[in-house]
Amino acid sequence: GENVEQHPSTLSVQEGDSAVIKCTYSDSASNYFPWYKQELGKRPQLIIDIRSNVGEKKDQRIAVTLNKTAKHFSLHITETQPEDSAVYFCAARWAAGNKLTFGGGTRVLVKP
Amino acid sequence: KAGVTQTPRYLIKTRGQQVTLSCSPISGHRSVSWYQQTPGQGLQFLFEYFSETQRNKGNFPGRFSGRQFSNSRSEMNVSTLELGDSALYLCASSEAGGDTQYFGPGTRLTVL
């Protein structure tokens, strides 16, 4: 069935360093891969997404890469800041419609 | 535009009761998806409604049901509540044919 694995589950970085979170998915038919950031007590918010026909996408300090052959995609955050501390979720969409399967989440802590 | 809203924000019920949660999507959005978020299971897809029809369904028991009205507002119902149903229930809306799902603040359900 559909499955998304996310690693690591926790990540601690020094302010200014880079953070990388990796996800693998099970079904090669997946076509859309969003990343959400969820701060404590708040709703998940989309930070970046990528479609299956694109290999890389960048938005300021955030980038996502997709390797369809290996069925994995990664989130890269450069020059991390304390406000980047949150839980990050990757997700993948397979079927028509909007069913997202989420990874287990990565708790990122940026130490000042 | 106003964001996705959910009511109520907090709910306490006892085992065996039933509960109805409401979600109002962003104006013009016709797709509404529901997710359950728990510390142990993460974010899990419940179902998606589009134009008053259920388009996708997750792996939850029949106690979980939903519907969508002609104005795109959606409700989900959980009958015969169990302790394990305690969770944050999130809904998300998206435009017809759109990729991005915008989440509401969630309803925190506690079952005693």
pLDDT digits (tens, 9 = 90+) for B20-44: 999 999 999 999 999 999 998 899 9
Give me the residue from A34, A43, A101 closest to B90, CB to CB.
A43
Q: What span, in angstroms and rounded, lies between the C-alpha atoms of B67 and B32?
A: 10
- What pLDDT score was predicted for residue B41? 87
- What pLDDT score was predicted for residue A27? 83
- What pLDDT score was predicted for residue A2? 82
- What pLDDT score was predicted for residue A96? 67
Give me the residue from B31, B42, B102 closest to A102, CB to CB.
B42
Contact A102 B33 (CB under 8 A): no
- What pLDDT score was predicted for residue B35? 98
Contact B48 A99 (CB under 8 A): yes
The beta-strand segments (E) located in chain A are 4-7, 10-14, 19-25, 32-38, 45-51, 56-59, 62-67, 72-77, 86-93, 100-102, 106-111
Element (H, E) at A60: none
- What pLDDT score was predicted for residue A97? 74
Closest-CA distance of chain A to residue B26, Å: 14
| Residues with Cβ within 8 Å of residue A1, at least 6 apart in sequence | A26
Contact A44 B103 (CB under 8 A): yes
Compare all CA atoms of chain B with the CA of A43 and give the residue at the minimum distance: B105
- What pLDDT score was predicted for residue A54? 85
Beta-carbon contacts below 8 Å between A and B: 59
Q: Which of residues 21-80 of B touch A (CB under 8 A)?
A: 31, 33, 35, 42-45, 48, 50, 55-56, 58
Tell me if B90 sits within 8 A of A38, measured CB to CB.
Answer: no
- What pLDDT score was predicted for residue A38? 97
Contact A49 B100 (CB under 8 A): yes
- What pLDDT score was predicted for residue A1? 62
Residues of chain A with pLDDT under 50: none
Closest-CA distance of chain B to residue A45, Å: 7
Compare all CA atoms of chain A with the CA of B57 and give the residue at the minimum distance: A99
Residues of chain B with pLDDT under 50: none
Sole residue written with tokens 């990540």: A11
Give me the residue from A43, A91, A97 closest to B56, CB to CB.
A97
